Structures are given as C-alpha cells and as structure tokens.
Structure 1
Amino acid sequence: MIRIRELRKEKNLSQKDLATQFHVAQNTISGWEKGMRDPDTDTVAALAAFFDVSTDYLLGNTDIRKPASRPTVDDDDIKFALFGTTDIDDATLEDIKAYARFKREQYNNR
C-alpha cells in the first residue's frame, strides 16, 4: 500500500492524524505504508473514499486516480434515442422501460 503515504502527505496529515481518523494505532498506518501489513477490504474502501481515489489506484493497480464516471442517461435522452424527439408522453416511456426490464430479466435468465 505504497500510495497511502503519498496520499497522506498530499493532505498534510501525519501518520497519527490518519490513525485517529481510522481508529487504528499509528504503527498500523506505518505497517500499511511499509507494506508490512494490509488493511482489510472495508478499510481499503474507506481509505479510497477518504482520499477520493479508486481502490485500484490506492492498491497500485493503476495510475489513474479515479476513472471518469459513466455519463447519466435521463428520460429525454431515452426518448430522443428511440424516437428522435423528446415529445413522447410519459405513459409510453414507462411502457418502454417496463419492456426493457422484462427483456433484461429474460436475457439474464437464459
């Protein structure tokens, strides 16, 4: 967990500060940073959230701090993609969504 030290220093935190934040002993933080100990899975996730990086970045599996988030799709996007306009009534859209859920379940149960 080499990156814990790097990220801790970026936030100007001492090992003691980070230990207090995560309710562990300072020597636990030292062990993580030196690679002598590994935090449990829940702590890895909490550390990643705390430092606002992905767990893969924290673990050294990638150099990308945080992958780009997936774009969101709203109802108007669905309407336009299917019909070329957003001027579709809500009942029709709900029917389409219900059919899509049905087909997804059918596909997953193959």
Structure 2
Amino acid sequence: MTIMIGDKIRDLRNQKRMSQTELSKILHVSQQTVTKWETGKAEPSSSAVTNIANYFNVSADYLLGRKAKKQQKQVDIKNDPIVLSYGGKPASKEDMEVIKAILARHQN
C-alpha cells in the first residue's frame, strides 16, 4: 500500500495538534488547498512540498514516500588490496597520503 503525500501532511499536522486553517496560514495557502492535499484531490507544488518539509522538519523524500538512499560502502584504504596497488605495483606511503587526501576532500 502506498501512502500518499496527503496522508503524511495530515499525520504531521495532527501530531502538532493543528487545524487545517492554522497550517494553511503558515504555508500561505487556503484551507481548501490543505483539504485537497490531504484528501488526494490535489498535490502540493514543489515549492509547497519544500515549505511543508521545512515547517515540519522532515525531508521532501519523506513526504513523497521515497525510501532513503543506501549509503555508499566505506573503503578502508589501509587494508584494501585494490587501493594498495596500481598497475600491479604496491602503492608507496606518499601515494597513500595523496589517496587519503583526495578521498577526504570528496567525502565533505
């Protein structure tokens, strides 16, 4: 069963014990618009999704029902034989320091 964005909006609103009117004022839309979102008769615009996510401190992916992306596998360059050699030759300590610096820059 797929949960619609309207269900998420309603659940988040109810958790804060807010009325549709209160939420509509915060988001600068009409109460009827919030009703349409929650009943599935309309979908919020991308800017409205952003505003909703920001207000409720959730991600847009959460509102859209998307699963979190899998994290990339961490490579331990000290023990990875592929990283420790290049062209069949063992990597030098200097090479390993360069590799570490490059990886550190790309992780930030």
Match of 2:72 in 1: none
Q: Deviations over 1:52-107 (max 9, x none)?
A: 11111111223x7xxxxxxxxxxxxxxxxx5xxxxxxxxxxxxx79xx7xxxxxxx
Match of 2:32 in 1: 27
TM-score (norm 2): 0.56
Q: CA RMSD in A?
A: 2.6
Matched, 1:6 2:11: yes
Identity %: 39
Does 1 or 2 have the higher relative contact order (CA < 8 Å, sep 6+)? 2
Q: Deviations over 1:23-71 (max 9, x none)?
A: 1111100000111111111110110011011111111223x7xxxxxxx
TM-score (norm 1): 0.55
* Structure with the greater alpha carbon radius of gyration: 2
Match of 1:57 in 2: 62
Higher helix proportion (structure 1 or 2): 1
- How many residue pairs end up in the alignment? 70
Moved over 3 A (4+): none
